[in-house]
Structure 1
Amino acid sequence: MATVTDGIHVLTVAGEIDHQTGGTLHQALNVSGTARPRVVVDLARVTFMDSSGINVLIIAHRALTEAGG
């Protein structure tokens, strides 16, 4: 689930994040076209995350930082 509060994209993730679901997370984290994109990822309901999920978060962090977020 994704919401926007005060210009901050809040993404609530649930279940497992692995090589099969990482693409969906990657797409959800794509906030291109947003000036100074700010994103919070709530992982409280994630029951499992492997290295592919961590890689998605690292890639998103780098992209958002480059965009001034």
Structure 2
Amino acid sequence: MADIQDPAGLPARLFITRADSDGIRVLTLGGEIDADTVGGLREALCVDGTATTSRTVLDFGDVTFMDSSGVNVLVAAFHTSRAAGGWIRIAALTERVWQVVDIVGLDTVIPCYPTLPEALAA
């Protein structure tokens, strides 16, 4: 398990913990996903096409805010994973973040599950 902090060395407002579960990368996120912090998420997802695994579950249980920059990184990660024959799933969206996901229709692109165990089992 590894903690990923802001790549610029700034005090992190987004915390990312990485673990693996039966070949599935699990990223547990906490804090805010916005233009200032999205670089850490991009790095954790390896959106540049060099993902170490093409199957990822994102646990959003402790995310308090996400703007369009986070949505854009998630869509890019979806395409990268899909091109590698894999997938991305989102779990445990908070009410505030669910509103953003619902408004932009992200849940029609990336499957969303109420809990981490449900996302892992799907």
| TM-score normalised by the chain length of structure 2 | 0.53
**Letter in structure 2 aligned against 1:58:** V
Pairs within 5 Å for 1:15-54: 15-30=31-46, 32-34=51-53, 37-54=54-71
Between the aligned partners of 1:67 and 1:11, the Cα distance in structure 2 is 18
| Structure 2: runs of 5 or more not aligned | 1-16, 87-122
**Letter in structure 1 aligned against 2:33:** I
| Structure 1: runs of 5 or more not aligned | none
Match of 1:68 among 74, 85, 96: 85
Higher RCO structure (Cα 8 Å, ≥6 apart): 1
Q: How large is the Cα RMSD of the aligned pairs?
A: 1.1
- Percent identity of the aligned residues? 51
Higher Cα Rg, which structure: 2
Question: Structure 1 residue runs of 4+, over 3 Å off?
Answer: none
| TM-score normalised by the chain length of structure 1 | 0.91
Q: Deviations over 1:15-52 (max 9, x none)?
A: 00000111110000116244xx2000001100000000
SS in structure 1 at match of 2:27:
strand
Aligned positions, number: 67
SS in structure 2 at match of 1:43:
strand
